[in-house]
A and B are shown apart, each in its own frame.
Chain A
Amino acid sequence: DVKVTQSSRYLVKRTGEKVFLECVQDMDHENMFWYRQDPGLGLRLIYFSYDVKMKEKGDIPEGYSVSREKKERFSLILESASTNQTSMYLCASSLGGAGTGELFFGEGSRLTVL
């Protein structure tokens, strides 16, 4: 079974802190994604990556950056956390190529910024 592991299920941070959210997948998937989930807004794509050291902006990249130094690991970074970044963050991975869009998700990281 594909497993996508997000290192922290719950985090509480203060405004201005730097926050790292880590995601690891064990199925050698080329593509990795970071989504943000908010009530009534569904899932919104923050960043994605098709390969190591490669990243593409999604729909809401402002205030975030990402790092993909190894194929299995995709990190989301909040350089200076703000209260409006309080949310559920979901990491996902998928096979590369033309792609069929089937994503495998982690269990999510719920971030609260005070």
Chain B
Amino acid sequence: AQSVTQLDSQVPVFEEAPVELRCNYSSSVSVYLFWYVQYPNQGLQLLLKYLSGSTLVKGINGFEAEFNKSQTSFHLRKPSVHISDTAEYFCAVINTGFQKLVFGTGTRLLVSP
């Protein structure tokens, strides 16, 4: 079975600074990887996904993530954050032959002026 680790429960950052949210996964087979974002009092929405092809994936709102198979990582980055990026971010993995998406415990990004 696959699993996901998000080591940082909370990441404080100043507006316009760069940010990286870390995600590591474990799986014995090929996987698809996702980042979801949850704004306050809302459900989750897809930020970006890696299915195959280029290991650098671009998503909405200027976010991108890089799939690193050797390090089993899928870190999320943004070169310059905005106050409106304050939210909780969830990394998720699914085995390519299976239907259940496994989520990490989430990282709360706090952007201050």
Per-position binary interface string of chain A over residues 96-112, scored 1 when its CB falls under 8 Å from any chain B CB and 0 otherwise? 00111111011110000
Q: Is there contact, CB below 8 Å, between A100 and B100?
A: no
Whether the pair A101, B97 counts as a contact (CB closer than 8 A) is no
CB distance from A17 to the nearest CB of B (A): 24
Q: Judge whether B105 and A31 touch: CB under 8 Å.
A: no
Tell me the residues in window 70-113 of chain B with beta carbons closer than 8 Å to chain A beta carbons: 90, 92, 94, 96-97, 99-101, 103-106
Main secondary structure of the interface of A (DSSP, over half): loop
Are B97 and A102 closer than 8 Å at their CB atoms? Answer: no
Q: What is the size, in residues, of chain B's interface with A at 8 Å between Cβ atoms?
A: 25
**Interface bracket on A:** 20 to 34
A43 contacts B45, CB within 8 Å? no
Is A12 engaged at the interface, CB distance under 8 Å to the other chain?
Answer: no
Please tell me if the beta carbons of B34 and A105 are within 8 angstroms of each other in the complex. Answer: no
Residue A48 at the B interface, CB < 8 A? yes
Among A86-103, those with CB < 8 Å from B are 90, 92, 98-103
The reply to whether B94 and A43 contact each other, CB–CB distance below 8 Å, is: no
- Give me 27 A-to-B residue pairs in the complex whose CB atoms sit less than 8 angstroms apart, sorted by A's number: A31-B99, A40-B105, A42-B6, A42-B103, A43-B103, A48-B99, A50-B99, A92-B44, A98-B96, A98-B97, A99-B99, A100-B32, A100-B49, A100-B94, A101-B94, A101-B99, A101-B101, A102-B34, A102-B49, A105-B36, A105-B45, A106-B43, A107-B42, A107-B43, A108-B41, A108-B42, A108-B43
